[in-house]
Chains A and B, each alone.
Chain A
Amino acid sequence: QKEVEQDPGPLSVPEGAIVSLNCTYSNSAFQYFMWYRQYSRKGPELLMYTYSSGNKEDGRFTAQVDKSSKYISLFIRDSQPSDSATYLCAMSDNNNDMRFGAGTRLTVKP
């Protein structure tokens, strides 16, 4: 079993839909949770950063962390074609040992 599980998709939604992306993990030592967005032929860019459990909102993006279930989510409201990318979850412990999910490929169709 991988430490971080993420459905690779692909996921295709119409413009304006709410998108839900998820990851599960097995290591209870993870304290820091991140979502990266990666456009084709580009490096990943940090999108959301959360410490421990809870929600964090930034514009159309909301990150949720449920440490009791070892489950994290990224919600995208009013999705746009420009949101089409691969989304990678990442998490690390206090020793900065980071693990990435495989990434979910999202397409938002106009």
Chain B
Amino acid sequence: GAGVSQSPSNKVTEKGKDVELRCDPISGHTALYWYRQSLGQGLEFLIYFQGNSAPDKSGLPSDRFSAERTGGSVSTLTIQRTQQEDSAVYLCASGVVFLNTQYFGPGTRLTVL
């Protein structure tokens, strides 16, 4: 079956521009996560959606970062006024909560010039 998909796979933008990153989770997965992975670093949690509950935004590094999940499926991570330190791979994962596992997409590699 189809796994988690993310688009675009690569994004190069100029400092100060806004970017939108998209995640299509596995069908039926109620949990959706966004992480950031910098070169040689572990996964930094950003935000977690579970069903219709209010998202856990505790990992968002600044108010320039926001995310939405429409209809309990597709999610969009938006970064406003991008900075060079935002350059990283942004990974999305979906899962079934009671199994406590997550399945990752291939990531979007963001480069801010």
The interface of chain A, by Cβ under 8 A from chain B, is 6, 8, 31-32, 34, 36, 41-46, 49, 88, 90, 92, 96, 98, 100-103
Kindly provide the distance from the CB of B92 to the nearest chain A CB, expressed in whole angstroms.
8
- Chain B contact residues: over half helix, strand or loop, or mixed? strand
Further 17 A-B residue pairs, CB within 8 A, beyond A32-B101, A45-B104, A96-B95: A6-B42, A31-B100, A41-B109, A42-B106, A43-B4, A43-B91, A43-B93, A44-B43, A44-B91, A46-B102, A88-B43, A92-B100, A96-B50, A98-B33, A98-B100, A98-B102, A100-B43
Interface size class of B (residues with CB under 8 A): 20 to 34
CA distance A102 to B50 in the complex (A): 25
Number of cross-chain contacts by CB at 8 Å: 47
By a CB distance below 8 angstroms, the chain B residues around A8 are: 40
A5 to B106, CA, bound (A): 25
